[in-house]
Structure 1
């Protein structure tokens, strides 16, 4: 069932005469729209079955959806905007060259490491490779900016933001 089929059924439901005239041509046997399409439309509140068993579109639901789409999105912080610029599907498109921007990205990446846990260099590399292929540069930047510390081939988180969770007690 394609989106095109759903739009077609919805359009026909909203025009009673057109629905009766073209339903057989476009939708199949006895001029009835496929049940799956109608169920999806009803699930989204875009169509409903009347007491007499006929289906009708709900234009008021369309208006509600359009109004929701027209409402401005919640303001995005400068940090979130910057992360959206540099991260695509969780991976860095590029390591920022400007230090201020790079610090925002590095602080974000530092959250991948649990405070108080020591990591072997190979484990740090695997984690950083998930963000960018140049894991060595990321590791060096994290150490230089005091977000990770290292000693004898082991690394631990020494800076950056810490997520605090309230346990409700």
Structure 2
């Protein structure tokens, strides 16, 4: 990351407020939202951008500023280099998946379709028949700890024709 990317990450007022709250010791999204008065969604978006730049770290103990990374950037200075552009699909997957777990299902149909295709391709082999229990087990793994549930996920996969069903047997066409 360049100093220009860091400046870009902190150029937004909301991200600066979130960064300041983390510097002041708020360790979770709810505490940051309470301190800043921002919505949970705005806080989550700001934290994601700050963690992508590497200046904020999301650990088991909570959010923290990576002081060493900031010092490294301050020493580096120099001209900025352009970051490689991410595809739309990569951006959607990065937004809705964390460590292989679905954080939530997108409301927008196009985004949801990208996510569902990703899940179907990684969970089910084309043409192989699966009993309902196996499908539920595979989808539960995607939903652990997130807001989505495996039943809704299964329904969306069927509705979008990424999975077919007949008498309790499922397959990927």
Q: Name the TM-score, length of structure 2 as normaliser.
A: 0.50
Instruction: Specify the alignment match of 2:152 in structure 1.
Output: 137
Paired residues for 1:150-169 under 5 Å: 150-158=165-173
Indicate the RMSD between aligned Cα atoms, in angstroms: 2.4
Q: Which has the larger radius of gyration?
A: 1
Structure 1: gaps (5+ residues): 1-61, 159-169
CA distance in 2, matches of 1:79, 1:86: 11
Divergent runs of 4+, >2 A? 70-74
Deviation readout 1:132-167 (Å, 9 max, x if unpaired): 151000000000000000011110002xxxxxxxxx
The SS at the match of 2:142 is coil
Paired residues for 1:1-80 under 5 Å: 71-80=81-90
CA distance in 1, matches of 2:82, 2:134: 42
- 2:116 corresponds to 1:116: no
Q: How far did residue 87 of structure 1 move?
A: 0.4
Instruction: Specify the alignment match of 1:98 in structure 2.
Output: 108
Could you say which structure has the higher helix fraction? 2
Name the structure, 1 or 2, with higher relative contact order (CA <8 Å, separation 6+).
Answer: 2
Q: How far did residue 94 of structure 1 move?
A: 0.5
CA distance in 2, matches of 1:105, 1:130: 15
Deviation readout 1:91-130 (Å, 9 max, x if unpaired): 1111111111111110111111101110111100011011
CA distance in 2, matches of 1:78, 1:114: 25
CA distance in 2, matches of 1:72, 1:121: 47
Q: How far did residue 71 of structure 1 move?
A: 3.5
Structure 2: gaps (5+ residues): 1-71
Instruction: Specify the alignment match of 2:6 in structure 1.
Output: none
The SS at the match of 1:130 is helix
CA distance in 2, matches of 1:110, 1:72: 33
Residue-pair matches, total? 95
